[in-house]
Structure 1
Amino acid sequence: MKKTLLVFLLLISSVLLNAHEFWLSPDKYFYTIRDIALIRFRVGENFTGENWTGNKEKIKQLSHYLPNGTQVDIADRLSIQKGDSIRLPLQTEGTHMVIFNSTNSHIELDSDKFNDYLKEDGLQTAIDFRQKNNETTKPGKEYYQRSVKTIIQVGDLKTDACTKPTGLPLDIIPFENPYASPAMAPADKLPTVTFRVLFKGKPLANLLVKTWNREKNGTGRMEEYRTNNRGTVKVKRYSGPFMVSAVYMERLNGDEKAEWQSYWASLHFEYSSFFSAVR
């Protein structure tokens, strides 16, 4: 019985450690004018996840970016009920974006789990700091917040507000509208697309960036990349639901509860399978 309980606790700890991907998930990606988009908050691993258990109290920012770039506060569309979703009327043709920034949450992990988490998300600066300051055997005390976006298309008009920076602390930005036709690639190669990553408006170099893709049979694919000195990253473009994610962490000083502040970002949309250059 004790052995079974231990295995269960270890399993739960592993899931909690790895299940920190978070994204906004629309019920579909292509709409017509006057449709209502249902957007859920998803959390989990391997780009499958479950419904988030947060609510309106966790909102720091929740905004709808219209195709012309106008930003509309939609925080009142999320209720106090845990796991609520957003129903968003779409009145304008073009490319729409919804962004969400959460308030801080607090977590404390034992030293091994925290070290594994830092390694998994490529947070080398934090790893180096802990090694230099003999903290590798100390638990990790951290605040974390989410900076997430989803992009959806209404009608045929492609607009470019989704390619501009937002007010999110950690912001993943596509160079091109993901619903526009991609540049053709050689027949034996996948096309590539470029993103930039900003932290408080400034580019982040050498940041680990992950891409997530679901194939038609439901199989998930994850690939890892690093930003260059300009904070940009070029990745392979796969058709279907697609997510780009990243984590950035900075050291805190003088806080009684936490020594680290992390920002977990994601950008979610769909790449069309109708273009012959895309597999």
Structure 2
Amino acid sequence: MHNSFRLVFLCLATFLFMSHELFLKTDTHFLEINKATQLYLLNGTFDTSENAITTDRIINSKIIGPDYLMEPKEGQYEIKNKITYLNFATGNSGTYVAGVSTLPRVLEMDAKAFNAYLEHEGLETTIADRKKQDIDNTGAKERYSKHVKTLLQVGEKRTIDFMKPLGYPIEFVPMNNPYDIKMGDAVAFKLLRDGVPLANHIVHYSTAVPGQDTHENENSTKTNENGFVSIVPNKKGKWYIATIHMEKRNGVEVDYESNWATLTFEIK
């Protein structure tokens, strides 16, 4: 029933979620050493960008590899066709992690839209709290920010640099290398909230399917009591894992604050 609801909701309110979802991608996650290349931010769905992220909203951008640390400057970004591109050059061979964090924005929704959004994302605790407080028929102001990462294999050598946390408010930290597995093997992650493992928290994951909306094929699972979660890629192509952490705020500015995390990689 949950999957059916997600399909119906996507048809009715795609515009709402397109304003939220953010992914850091590249044409191929398998790159050459010491070569100029591009990453890009898709602000919409895993397949389509509805609008660009302006550089004044980007903070804590990092690319980490073996003996390599880049913190991109404003001049390295460019915006074309509703997509924000990041230009950089790779270094030595190894498995890199790249990330971008954004400054928060506020979104106001009526009760129907907000409740549907909570249901769509599996935010069970917030749903239960709203019902308990008898506020599930009221709208909400939400302050949200996005924290997105991607894994890159540069050259042939596998290294552990991709496992380094970037210090984001919420982030997935890989526990094994997706570029060193066979089809059918699991890829494991630790979900951190302010550096602390986030237990029993719902996450979503999917892959690009030609001719289909990736989110229509989305699967859901939960982290365990230690904040670990694993998924089993069963197709070649680009994959993502994503989640939202929401907290109640009692201030006059917003009712809730959410932090969104995605991580992308490719199975070859």
Normalised by the size of structure 1, how large is the TM-score? 0.84
Structure 1: how far apart are the matches of 2:10 and 2:190? 35
**3-state DSSP of counterpart to 1:99:** strand
Pairwise CA RMSD: 2.2
Q: Which amino acid is the alignment partner of residue 250 of structure 2?
A: N
Instruction: Determine if contact 2:31/2:155 at 8 Å carries over to the other structure.
Output: yes
**Superposition deviation, residue 14 in structure 1:** 0.8
Q: Which runs of 5+ in 2 are unaligned?
A: 1-8
Match of 1:50 in 2: 49
Query: 3-state DSSP class of the match of 1:106?
Result: strand
2:3 corresponds to: none
Matched, 1:212 2:206: yes
Structure 2 counterpart SS, 1:85: strand
- For 1:56-205, list aligned pairs within 5 A: 56-68=55-67, 70-76=68-74, 77-78=76-77, 83-182=83-182, 190-205=184-199
Secondary structure of the structure 1 residue equivalent to 2:91: coil
Query: Which one is further off, 141-150 or 228-237?
Result: 228-237
Gaps of 5+ in 1: 1-9, 185-189, 273-279
Given candidates 222, 225, 236, the residue that maps to 1:229 is 225
Amino acid in structure 1 at the alignment position of 2:195: G
Give the CA deviation at 1:32: 1.2
- Cα distance in structure 1, aligned partners of 2:37 and 2:140: 39
Distance in 1 separating the partners of 2:139 and 2:11? 18
Task: Please list the CA deviations of residues 232-251 of structure 1 after superposition, one character each: whole Å capped at 9, or x if unmatched.
Answer: 11212232111010111011
CA deviation after TM superposition for structure 1 residue 17, in Å: 2.5
What corresponds to 2:260 in structure 1?
Answer: 264
- Relative distance call for 1:181 and 1:72 in structure 2 (3 A) is same
Asked whether the equivalents of residues 174 and 189 of structure 2 are also in contact (C-alpha less than 8 Å), the reply is yes
For 2:16, what is the secondary structure of its paired residue? Answer: helix
Take 1:142 and 1:100, find their aligned partners in 2: how far apart are those partners?
Answer: 21
Shift in alpha-carbon separation, 1:122–1:74, aligned structure 2, 3 A = same
Alpha-carbon distance in structure 1 between the residues aligned to 2:203 and 2:114: 19
Query: Which structure has the bigger radius of gyration?
Result: 1
Q: CA deviation at 1:65?
A: 1.1
What's the secondary structure of 2:218's corresponding residue? Answer: strand
Which one of the candidate residues 240, 243, 246 is aligned to 2:240?
Answer: 243
Q: 1:167 to 1:89 in 2, by over 3 A?
A: same
> Under a length normalisation based on structure 2, what TM-score does the superposition of the two structures give?
0.87
Matched, 1:39 2:46: no
Per-residue displacement from partner, 1:38-74 (whole Å, max 9, x unpaired)? 11110223x3121542211111211111234x53211
What is the aligned-residue identity percentage? Answer: 28
In the alignment, is the contact (CA less than 8 A) between 2:93 and 2:157 conserved in 1? yes
> What displacement does 1:132 show?
1.4
Alignment deviations for residues 176-212 of structure 1 (CA, whole Å, 9 cap, x no partner): 1111134x8xxxxx33221110100111111111111
CA separation in 1, counterparts of 2:138 and 2:50? 32
Which whole-Å CA distance do the structure 2 matches of 1:163 and 1:42 have between them? 23
Equivalent pair of 1:212/1:243 in contact (CA under 8 Å): yes
Q: C-alpha separation between the residues in 2 aligned to 1:174 and 1:124?
A: 25
Contact 2:43 2:53 in 1 (8 A): no
Structure 2 CA distance for partners of 1:243 and 1:12, relative to 1, 3 Å: closer
